Structures are given as structure tokens and as C-alpha cells.
Amino acid sequence: MNNHILNHLPYKSSFRFVDNISLLSENEVRGEYTLKQDSFFYEDHFAGNPVTPGVIITEIMAQIGLVVMGIFLMLKESDLNFDDDTDLYPLLTSTEVSFFKMVLPGQKVTVVSKKQYFRFGKLKCYVEMLDSEQEVVARGMFSGIIKHIELKK
């Protein structure tokens, strides 16, 4: 239903951490991602006992909680539409994240983001990651901008 926005994400398969967007509005986004057991970062983090690195947890939260909402808001307020082939690039400007639980290979997580403000092209969101039992894995405040960049051809 809301997955049309995924076509606008600037990430390739090995670094796209969004499987599904189940809720998308001007004020909130909810999405899911299942961590692939063969992901490149598990090989050495930690050998024999793989755990999802905090930077990957942060990236999942940013992609779903900030980038998806930011692209949605940019497309909504501009003359672009969801079918246009646009070049929108997310630029994360700040994060403040607290971690509470580990995330293991194969685990499905849900990210819920609530907009704090969107003005002058800057978006700030309160983002939480939940595990399959709906327990908080991580939470924090994310800020960034989504730029429309004209590519030289």
C-alpha cells in the first residue's frame, strides 16, 4: 500500500534496510526489516557469535524513520509526483540513539517514527526500533535533510 515510496530510496540491495512500509503519513511512518543472516557485517561482528552492529541498527532506523518520511514529505510539497524518476538524496545531520537490546541475524524489527518538525527542508523525528515482541531495541532523535539534486548527464 505505501511501498511506492521504496522506489525513491537511493540505496542498492546490500545497503537497503527497508522491506515494507505499513504506515506512512505526514506525521508518522512505520516499517519493517528482517536482517539477512548472510549480511556482510555478520562475518566479523562477532566471529562465531554474530550480533548486528549499532551502526547498522542506526542505519535501519534512519532509512525507515527519517529518509522514507523525508522523501514522502518532499514529494508531497513539491511539484514532483510519486511516479517521477527523481533524484532525492538523504543527508543525515544528527542522531542521538540509545540501545537497549541486541539484534541477531534473521530477526525482524519494526521502526516507528513520529515527526517532530519539518521546516525549511529539515526534518526531525523521534524514532524507535521494536523487536518481534514489541520491546524497544533502540530509540532516539534523528535529524536530516532530503536534497533534490540534478545529475549531470
Look at the chain and count its residues. Answer: 153
Cell (9 digits) for 26 = 505526514
CA distance 74 to 98: 28
Between strands 88-99 and 28-34, the pairing is unpaired
- Of the listed 4, 8, 45, 148, which one is catalytic? 45
Whether 8 is catalytic is no
E strand residue ranges, 28-135: 28-34, 88-99, 108-119, 122-130
Q: Which residues are catalytic?
A: 45
